[in-house]
Amino acid sequence: MTTALSTGLSTGTWAIDPVHSTIGFSVRHLMVSKVRGTFDTFSGTITVGDDGVPSVTAEIDVNSINTRNEQRDTHLKSADYFDAANHPLAKFTSTGVRPNGDTYLLDGEFTLKGVTKPVTLEVDFVGVNPGMGQGEVAGAEASVVLNRKDFGIDLDMPLETGGTVVGDKVTINLEIEAVKQA
């Protein structure tokens, strides 16, 4: 077993388990509160090479956005925001990982609405468990703050009192459980 940056991940491929994982986000609304939501359809793998360094690839179906408001979700899928008809997937491919005290920094390329930008996620590796007969299970939590305008989501709806209806900064929070593949 090769360990990856002291995480305990064994060499091989780990599949993200969408049943036990969550991709959530929050964004400022009317300058005073936050709208929260999830993406309910996603997939990904973590591949740990002989050198012990993990690489991550993931895809998110932006049509699976869920803010618990159908009208808002429909608007978010439109060309004003995600343009899901032309760009149905958001994608992440890691380019490196670095220790950062008790956490890790996962560098990568994130593509949303046809725009690819470098991003760095802060990852808290929770650990590895033998699982329940389906193979080893690993857990991690990660977050990143993105500027929506960097990805061409630049609709501004100014408020009469200043500011905008939707904030520029979007916080993405991931709670990931991955299962070791045979």
Gap between the Cα atoms of 171 and 167, Å rounded: 11
Q: Where in the chain are the domains?
A: 12-180
Q: What pLDDT score was predicted for residue 112?
A: 96
Residue 130 has pLDDT above 90, yes or no: no
Percent of the chain residues past pLDDT 70, beyond the cut: 90
Q: How confident is the model at residue 61 (pLDDT cuts 50, 70, 90)?
A: very high
Q: Which residues contact 152 (CB under 8 A, 6 or more apart)?
A: 113, 114, 115
Gap between the Cα atoms of 82 and 169, Å rounded: 15
Each residue of 161-177: pLDDT tens digit? Answer: 666 667 788 999 999 99
Mean pLDDT of 84-112: 96
Give the DSSP per-residue string, 85-131. TT--EEEEEEEEEEEETTEEEEEEEEEETTEEEEEEEEEEEEEEE--
Mean model confidence pLDDT for the chain: 89
Superfamily of domain 12-180: Lipid/polyisoprenoid-binding, YceI-like (2.40.128.110)
Q: Which residue has the higher pLDDT, 141 or 49?
A: 141
Q: What pLDDT score was predicted for residue 164?
A: 62
Each residue of 26-38: pLDDT tens digit? Answer: 887 766 778 999 9
Percent of the chain residues past pLDDT 90, beyond the cut: 66
